[in-house]
Each structure stands twice: as structure tokens, then as C-alpha cells.
Structure 1
């Protein structure tokens, strides 16, 4: 065995002793020296923004339990668990985490342990001869009734696919380009200095070495962009600035093309979504909801229903999102105005007066008054309208008095 192999094996043994060798290479994807995993992928602002928009809609959903007839079941055990899944996550945080994990890794594993709900990691799955799925963590099997395998399904019946797999090449390129630009400007533009000498550099020349070290000390002391250093040089010496070889325009052009592709792996067209955000937020949220959020909701509902109730129950977990949470106040005002405007034409006599057709229903033919639309004919004798009679000199029993006369 050569010296190189001996050194390599020694280093490998040292790495294995540190305990994180398997973790690093089992939880990351390595391409071209750039690590892409479910944590540093959020360094990309575009990926983070898209994940936030999708998971925030899921986070704002109200969770209910419906029976066989579609009626909501009040104060159900499953709802209480989903609202308070464990002692380290709230219900909203759990739902957001499960959505992000599902989108990035392509699958999520909720585990129901009594009255606690957790997200399991490092799960190994396999199908037996009876096509029954088994789940193992560190060799220990988890009972099937306690866990569900929520998959962002592609063409594999056993595993889902997430953006880490679908967009690995695009992500690696985008993140590397972003990192290059960030490093360039965080390090002052990657400026370098070249000290030119007319004479050969002689390591034995003490005076020459002293001058070079002095120049290096002066340059390394420049820590702010507005700092100016005066470096006097002797004859035969010259300092030249070398600009960074990184070309911003080319990198930005690359990012402008490939960043838009990232949204496709999350189920939306970034250009369409961003254009709608500029013109109509409600349409943008509905676009995101229909293209990305609704399929996730359906998948989560199916798996959580089976997790809590089993395959034979008619009960079902449902996510309900009020899309008005995502529209501006002015839009809500317009909606309220339209409702009021429609209400004005509900009574037939008013509709006819305003030029609308009569509906000729018992409800539209009744005469309503007050904010709660109570019928005049159903007003009780205890109504405040009696006070008006007394103010006019009546006693509230005019009809009775006429009968006596």
C-alpha cells in the first residue's frame, strides 16, 4: 500500500470516528463541490419566497373533522391534537414544517403517538410480499397504524419526489451563482494586488523581503472601502490592481433565466405568479391555491384521515382556507358593498322601484325593517314602536278603545 493510500485511509478512519460521516452523506446531495440540502436551499431567496407563500396558505387553514354526511364534528380529538401536536411545535408550525418538508424532500412521515403528533426523519420504507409497507428507524420498526407516508407522487409508488431531487441541477447552478456574487461583494469585490519587480526576487535579500512584507501589511490593513493607503515604493517596484474575473452581468443573466425554473418544480409558473402579484393579489393567491396548495391539502387530508380514523371510518380531516385572508382591505370593502347593493334589491317592491324584476317569492314579498331584517308583521307588542304612540298621545290600545265605543 502506497503512502497516499495510507494517508487516505487514516483520514477516513478519523472522519468515521467523529460520527458525522454517514449523516453528512445521507442528508446532503453533492454536486461540483456545492452542497445542496434542505437547510441551505433556503439561502436562495426565490426558493424561500415560494416555499413561504405555499406553506403560509397551509398554515392559515382551519382544520375540522367531518362525519359521513359532511357535517362538522365539534371538539373532536383529532382537531385538538392537530392544533397542539406536541410540546415543541404549535399546530400552525407543524403544518408549515410538514408542507416545507413535503415540497423539499418529496415526502413527510407524520407519526401519531397517543395524543401527540410528530414528524419522523431518517425513515427506511419497504414493501413486503403482501404489498404491505413497513417503516423502520435505526432498525426498529414503527407500527403501521402509527405512521403515514405522505408522498409528492411522481412515477414511483414507494417514494415521493421533492425539489431537491427534481431540480437538483438547476438548484446547484443557481445556488453556486448566488454564492459567487455574495462572496465577491462581501470580500470587497475580490480585489487583488500585484507587486511588480524589475529585479528577480531573492529570498536571501533581506531588504527586498522587508519591503514586500511591509507592502502586504499595508494592503491587508485595508478593511473599509473608503480607506486610502499611501505606499511609497523604491525604484523598480510597482503595484497594479487586479480586478475580479467574476462578471456580474453574465451571472445575473444566468440567474434571471434559471431562477424562474425553480417555481415549476413547486407547481407554479413564476412569471405568471409575479405578474398577477403586481396587478391583482387575489388572483395571484387563487392561482397559487389552485396550482400548488389544493393538491397538497387533498393529499394531507387523505393521509391524516387514515392516520386518525383508519380505512373503515367515514370521518375525514378537512382543511378549510378563507381566501379572503389573502386579499387587500379595499377588495373586502368592494365585496361588502356588492353584498349590500344586492340586498337592496331583495324586496320586490324596492326591486320594482329601482327597475329590477320582481322575484315573487314569500321572502322577497315580505316587508323587512331594521338591520336584522325582521318582518314587520312579526314585530311584538313589546317593540319600541309603542313608545312612539305614547309620544303622540296614544296609549297603545287604540283598537280596543274603538271597539268599546
Structure 2
């Protein structure tokens, strides 16, 4: 605990320096200001990449975080849950999770730091393994105690660091972003419309009348700032104006984007063609495809590292992410599921009432799942046997009556 206290004191002193106007806070600087925001932001400018990242990170953001003991029993009230829901003063639990997922996917690794009851994401972290294969962490030359930080890697073939979109798809990403920028700039500037002024005579710098006429024509052309503007430019003999075609060919650039944009999805773990087709045909299948291909492995990796960060290597407690798959199901489908669970009283079982947005009754009867109102609870063996026994006795009575 002495090492942790020394580190916490260091952080406190550095924060005090910052309040007095200094900018020497290495720890908070690396956390709040980051070191690669410019590159990360430029990646997010690609709409397709942004959409894929949002779809993946939103699933984890919407997941419930639970803690289980060694027997798989959920621990409802634990201090770690409060920290995960309110990690620090500048991020909510949802924002923290989205940031962690996006950083993990783009940069290939992320470093959560647990400082007391505050959880942060650090950048500019230097890591190394010693001769005993123990990982050490430094931020700006300051040593971070290993029990306060985890190195979550999007693992590839290197055990020291992870790989993300920035590295895996670097060449493809740069090409896509450049192509998008070219088209954007072109249409920002009105399709790069330009004009060519042709003269039959040589341009003579000493010819004042010629220079005056050329400047007047250029002024008229440059003043066209709206597509609805119309300019009438009288020209003398030997002068003509032709429109200059833009060298940027939309069809070729769009064909390039249609081919290479899809590759970016593969670096995030999904096939864009498959995902797009499923999204159009069946949203539930699309979300399940995304969940199984991309989200589920991230949930497992995050859960493992956060469990070690909060509980250490010798605890049997585990942090897990719990996704409600019914969130991806249309409301009409949920209604059909409810009608299939019971024949009547669609909102009677609490499980169906909760699924459809009704208030639960929280009684033993409504918390059980029935095959139908006149039958017994599903999974209640004794009740089922009693029901069968009653049926056998009635059959005997009917048989006696027949004789």
C-alpha cells in the first residue's frame, strides 16, 4: 500500500501545481489531453468507419456490467460496480466504455488505470518486459505500479502490443481518406469550376489595354460565387472563354471507394458486404452477426482485464458484460414471443411484462413461466408429477364408471 500512497501523493501534488497555473502534471496530461487525437479524429471523419465503430461500441455501452463470484452467483452490491458506472469526474460510465472500445479498435491497445475509486484511460504509456517477463509501465518517465494499470491488447502475433485499425489498415485507410477528401473539396468549391481565357494574340505585358481587359474578365469570373449567378462578359475580337473540365473524375474515385472501404470493416472484425445485406434484410440477424464476430471477443477481453485490475489475480470474482439480445428484436417480434410463452394474459408473467415495457407485478406466480394458465410451472418437476398423478386417478375413475 505504501507504493500506492506514494503514487497517489505524486498525482495530488501535480494536480495542485496545475491549479497554480503550471502544466507539469504528466499523469493528468496523458489522461485528459491524449497524444494521438489528431490522427484518431481524422479516422473518424470517414463516415463508414465511424458508423462501424459506433455499431460495435454501442453494443458494449448498452451492455450491463455484472460481478460474479466463483460459483457464478451475481454480486449485486459491490464498490467496483459504482466505479464502473461513475469512473471519474469527466466521463460517465457510457462515455468511458465507448472511448475504451474506440481506442482499442483504432489504436490496438488501451490502458485503464485504477486510482482508488477513479478509473481513467491513459495514453503515451511506455511498456517493457524485464528478464522475469514482468511488464513495467511508465508515463512521462514516472513509474506506474502494475496493480494500478492494465494493458488491454487487441492481440495479433505480438505479445508486447496490440494491433488496431491504424496499423492494420494504414495504407487502405490513407487511400480511402484521401479519396473522400478529394471529393469533399471538389464539391465544397462548386465542382472545381474553372475557365480558360484564350487569346489569338500574344500577351504583351507592355500592352496596357490588353492587361486591363484581361483583369476585367478575371474579376468578372472570380465574382461568380453562386450557381444561380449569371454574368454577361463582352469580349473583344481575338478573345474567347471556355470552361475547364475538372481533372477529378467522380466515377473512378467512387469505384475505388466501393472496393477499398469494405476492407476497413475486415480490420474491425466484420465483412461489410455480409453486414450490410443482413441489416437490410433482418436487423436482428445483423446485430447478432456483429455481436458474435466483433463484440463478444472484446467483452471477454475487457472482462478478463477489468477483473484483474479490480480484484487481482488471486480472486475468484469476475467482471462480465451482459448483453440483452432482445434489444435487437423489433417490438412486433417481442409481442409474438410473448404470445408464444402464454396463451392468455400476455403481460401476466413478469418476464414478458418487462420485455414489452409494462410494470412487473413481482409475485411468485408472475415470476414463474407457465406453459399456459391451466397447466403447471415450467421446470417444476414435482408439480408436473402431481399433475400427471391427478390425470391418472381421473382416468381410473372414468374407467370404473364405464364398467
TM-score, normalised by the number of residues in structure 1:
0.77
CA offsets, 1:261-290, max 9 Å, x none?
A: 111001011111111111111111111000
1:30-69 aligned at under 5 Å gives the runs 37-69=39-71
Partner of 2:256: 254
* Distance in 1 separating the partners of 2:149 and 2:375: 58
For the pair 1:232 / 2:234, whether they are aligned, the reply is: yes
Q: Provide closer, same or farther for how the CA distance between residues 290 and 364 of structure 1 changes in structure 2, counting only shifts above 3 A.
A: same
Residue pair 1:348, 1:360 contacting (<8 A) in 2 also: no
Q: Secondary structure at the match of 2:296?
A: helix
Conservation of the 8 A alpha-carbon contact between 2:65 and 2:321 = yes
Q: 1:291 aligns with which of 290, 293, 314?
A: 293
Other-structure match for 2:123: 121
Describe how 1:375-390 pairs up with structure 2 within 5 A.
Answer: none
Give the alignment of 1:225-374 within 5 angstroms: 225-341=227-343, 343-345=370-372, 347=374, 362-364=382-384
Deviation at 1:360, TM superposition (A): 11
Q: CA deviation at 1:344?
A: 5.0
Deviation at residue 312 of structure 1 after TM alignment: 0.4
Residues paired across the two proteins, number: 327
Question: Secondary structure of 2:172's partner?
Answer: helix
**Bigger CA radius of gyration:** 1
What secondary structure is seen at the aligned counterpart in 1 of 2:190? Answer: coil
What SS does structure 1 have at the residue aligned with 2:196?
strand
337-346 vs 201-210, greater mean Cα deviation: 337-346
1:231-254: per-residue Cα shift (whole Å, max 9, x none)?
Answer: 111111111100101111111111
Is 1:106 the counterpart of 2:108 in the alignment?
Answer: yes
Query: 2:342–2:372: 8 Å Cα contact kept in structure 1?
Result: no
User: What's the offset of the Cα at 1:313?
Assistant: 0.6
| Distance change in 2, residues 1:88/1:348 (3 Å) | closer
Structure 2 CA distance for aligned equivalents of residues 103 and 339 of structure 1: 40
RMSD of aligned residue pairs (Cα, Å): 2.1
Partner in structure 2 of residue 147 of structure 1: 149
Aligned-partner Cα distance in 1 for 2:242–2:110: 56
The answer as to whether partners of 2:84 and 2:93 remain within 8 angstroms in 1 is yes
The DSSP-based 3-state class of the residue aligned with 1:37 is helix
Please say if residues 122 and 137 of structure 1, whose CA atoms lie closer than 8 Å, have aligned partners that are also in contact: yes
Q: Distance in 2 between matches of 1:241 and 1:46?
A: 34
Q: Are 1:305 and 1:316, in contact at CA under 8 Å, matched by a contact in 2?
A: yes
Q: Secondary structure at the match of 1:88?
A: coil
SS of structure 1 residue aligned to 2:87: coil
1:181 aligned residue: 183
Segments of 4+ moved more than 2 angstroms: 341-349, 359-367
Give secondary structure in 2 for the equivalent of 1:39.
helix
Is the Cα contact below 8 Å between 1:302 and 1:317 reproduced in 2?
A: yes
Q: Distance in 2 between matches of 1:27 and 1:164?
A: 11
Residue 165 of structure 1 and its aligned partner are, at CA, apart by: 0.4
Show CA shifts across 1:215-246 (max 9, x none): 11111111111211111111111111001011
CA distance in structure 2 between the aligned counterparts of 1:189 and 1:259, rounded to whole angstroms: 23
In 1, Cα distance between equivalents of 2:66 and 2:372: 36
Partner of 2:203: 201
Q: What do the CA deviations read for 1:5-50 (whole angstroms, capped 9, x no partner)? A: xxxxxxxxxxxxxxxxxxxxx848xxxxxxx821111111110010
Is residue 68–residue 318 contact of structure 2 (8 Å, CA) maintained in 1?
yes
Q: Which residue of 1 aligns with 2:139?
A: 137
TM-score by length of 2: 0.78
Q: Is the 8 A contact 1:346 1:364 kept in 2?
A: no
| 1:360–1:237 distance in 2 versus 1, CA, 3 Å | closer
Confirm or deny that 1:161 pairs with 2:181: no
Instruction: Report deviation, 1:74.
Output: 2.0
1:366 deviation in Å? 6.5
